[in-house]
Amino acid sequence: MPWQRSSEALKKQVYRQHTHGISRKSLGRNFRKSDSTLARYYDHMYEVENRKLLTLQIPRVLGIDEHFFSRQTRFATTLCDLKRRRVFDVAPGQSNASLAPYLSELKGSLDCPELLSGSPCRGRSFPCGAPGAASSHENLPHD
């Protein structure tokens, strides 16, 4: 917001600290800002981070791992960007039917029909935006 007299670095710091559990009252004392100002900073940075998440592209090398999550959700599937060694996203469910709606909403193209049909797609590379898919933390070489 152009009329505000605060840096993006300050807003990011407030966002990170409040996300990690520090109350706005404590942040207000530390940064000498009012509660409503800190709420505006947090809301602004939340919108920025949310826009980043909505425009994520499927990584070129995708690692897939299923694991037990909780009694209610049962299983979760972790999708990893193996090139950057980072977690891309965590999706609830383990079966192909539960992951199909999630995979169809992702930006880019995931050309692994075996992933949706149930048979493993290990050891293959694909020419689209996701050249390979790895299961159980196997790293596939990129062509």
At residue 96 the predicted structure's pLDDT band, cuts being 50, 70 and 90, is confident
Over 80: is that where the pLDDT of 79 sits?
yes
Identify which has the larger pLDDT, 26 or 139: 26
Q: Is 33 left (phi over 0), alpha (psi -120 to 50) or beta?
A: beta
pLDDT in tens, 7-32: 889 999 999 999 999 999 999 999 99
User: How many residues can be counted in the chain?
Assistant: 143
pTM of the model: 0.48
